[in-house]
Structure 1
């Protein structure tokens, strides 16, 4: 049996805090996401507890009558509790050094471990088709785990929303980007 995990980056949001809602455009994107998956069999939906992630998948969950499971391991990565003006460069550096860690934040290695744990649990479960809704940085770290060539520049090119399909067959994991942003 081939297992499929659809990894989704949330739709456009008003900001970074956990309570940040989707923008009007993000609400429309969530409806487009629901339409995108309408003919796909989905057994399970797991989401970051952040409001923007839940709002991104709620229209589809309602249509499919599938409960959204909240999992804090899928929460946004905290780069640091300090507000750095050069955060972009600091983030780039964490893609080059997975153990690099800034005050109050988590390393790429620590953040990747969270989402990889969720994915491994899903692959071991009975479900064939699962959706995981998360954030761009965690998504990029997961894709880097599957393919070491996926790096900072690939993270920069992710869209809101974005969808990747992970497939596992005979312990071989592959991924493909499914979402084509306008």
Structure 2
């Protein structure tokens, strides 16, 4: 059975694309590498954001696997405006997937991006794949496969976090693997 490990990046210094991992985040990236030490991995795909890449670099080096970058895995932009009530607005986008703020992307649009990547991976030759991405878009992927996954579940994601997606007879299920 094909396994896709969806990883939210480790603790970072900020949200911009060049934000690096914190000292704690770099330690977490080593924990991630240890976590997968006995798991066969065929491919690693990552958001091109620095924090995502740095989260999986120790594992890629350990496994001697090149990281494939995919722009569809970048974090969702809620709005290009500085929203003082961004948390309320974000919550509203889980209830109305088409809701869109200036310069931003709706939940539906972001969801379609990451689902495209996952569906391609499910149809690929590889059996055990890691996808490294960001919290909001990761939560939207999980919501796609289980509508009960919403804003509160997004708030409960950790940095890092790992979910295992499995596809058996076109029935996708997932479970959380990271409990640290």
TM over 0.5: yes
Which residue of 1 is the match for residue 149 of structure 2?
A: 150
Consecutive aligned runs of 4 or more in structure 1 exceeding 3 Å deviation: none
- 1:37 deviates by 0.3
Which residue of 2 is the match for residue 46 of structure 1?
A: 45
- 1:163 deviates by 0.1
Answering whether residue 127 of structure 2 is matched by residue 105 of structure 1, we say: no
- 1:38 deviates by 0.6
Which residue of 2 is the match for residue 65 of structure 1?
A: 64
Which secondary structure state, in structure 1, belongs to the residue aligned with residue 130 of structure 2? strand
Whole-angstrom CA distance in 1 between matches of 2:31 and 2:150: 27
Whole-angstrom CA distance in 1 between matches of 2:133 and 2:32: 14
Which secondary structure state, in structure 2, belongs to the residue aligned with residue 11 of structure 1? coil
Unmatched 5+ residue regions in structure 2? none
Deviations 1:35-84 (A, max 9, x none): 00010000000000000000000000000001100000000100000001
Which residue of 2 is the match for residue 172 of structure 1?
A: 171
Whole-angstrom CA distance in 1 between matches of 2:109 and 2:148: 19
- 1:103 deviates by 0.2
Which residue of 2 is the match for residue 91 of structure 1?
A: 90
Answering whether residue 160 of structure 2 is matched by residue 161 of structure 1, we say: yes
Which residue of 1 is the match for residue 73 of structure 2?
A: 74
Answering whether residue 23 of structure 2 is matched by residue 17 of structure 1, we say: no
The alignment's TM-score, normalised by the length of structure 2, stands at 1.00
Whole-angstrom CA distance in 2 between matches of 1:37 and 1:114: 26
Unmatched 5+ residue regions in structure 1? none
- 1:180 deviates by 0.6
Which residue of 2 is the match for residue 120 of structure 1?
A: 119
Which secondary structure state, in structure 2, belongs to the residue aligned with residue 59 of structure 1? helix
Aligned length: 180
Answering whether residue 135 of structure 2 is matched by residue 136 of structure 1, we say: yes
- 1:124 deviates by 0.3
